[in-house]
Copies of this chain bind each other. A is one copy, B any other.
């Protein structure tokens, strides 16, 4: 009975508007099918989840890490930020950070202000973080304002850019010198890890961040994000906090199994590689054809300036993501690749450009 819209969906079009347009990596579905009738306990206390946690601990070289699986990004950000901050503290983030503008007030619903600092290509600098913390300390009336209590960054950033290891080290040192935790949103982490330009691996993340999450929804899973807390019991009673925030999955094994699969045979890295290879090929073609990039991003998201007329023309055969208006006749459009991007679609896109 789905035949009518199936046809519509499947008609010859190219899809490059986001990285969560398909189901899951086939290997994940395979494992779901294969383990389907096995019986396990609920709430993530099962063997699949335990195995996933252990594999993540190994990949992060963090043998004591607490690992939890939540269902999505907004939920993970809102729950973890609220878990880390007492009521009177806020979270430092880039003005362009995801939590600053695109979480529908989820952070504020938890009672916390997002304290924005300048973004440089989507990134914050250790220097600006230090300034924010120092300004707070220097303010003679700081007892009357929101205390910065943690730092939020994402890798890749909202703009698809990457923190280098040295940048991340500086940020981490600034946080820890000031005794506040560093939290990293890795919704698209697979696409950072696979970049040639990237020098920040999971082990570095585990050693520099207090909490971070490894994204599943945008990196090949049906849903799910893996929160990693390298220091054991860094947040006491986190299980209950997650439940209280509506983020505890009763049938936890499904999230566990997905991450167990993603962290078997380097699948998470392969998924990233496919997207990066595709993005690099498109980027090279765009350069050659003289397109102008709005942001220089090395990951799976490409931001190009286009005339509106060109956008309209392309829209007939390819779906791109709208990013922002520049002026009356120009816009920035996003091309996103993913684990699911096919080589022939990349070639077809290039041919159209």
Q: Which residues of A contact B (CB under 8 A)?
A: 1-2, 5-6, 8-10, 13, 15, 17-18, 20-24, 26, 29, 32-33, 35-43, 47-48, 51, 71-79, 82-83, 86-90, 101-106, 108-114, 140-141, 143-147, 217-218, 222-223, 237, 239-241, 243-251, 253-254, 260, 264, 319, 322, 340
Contacts and interface: CB of A to CB of B under 8 A. Distances in A.
Contacts of A38: 6, 9-10, 22-23
A297 to B, nearest CB: 20
A39 B26 contact: no
B20 A147 contact: no
A82 B87 contact: yes
Contacts of A246: 72, 74-79, 106, 245-247
* Residue among A10, A26, A105, A250 with the highest chain B CB neighbour number at 10 A: A105
A338 to B, nearest CB: 10
A93 B273 CA distance: 45
Contact of A143 (B13, B101, B146, B240): B240
Given A71-B72, A86-B237, A105-B146, 10 more contacts: A6-B38, A9-B47, A21-B39, A22-B40, A29-B32, A77-B246, A78-B246, A87-B109, A104-B146, A106-B245
A72 B249 contact: yes
A321 to B, nearest CB: 10
Nearest to A88: B240
* Residue among A15, A74, A103, A217 with the highest chain B CB neighbour number at 10 A: A74
B251 A20 contact: yes
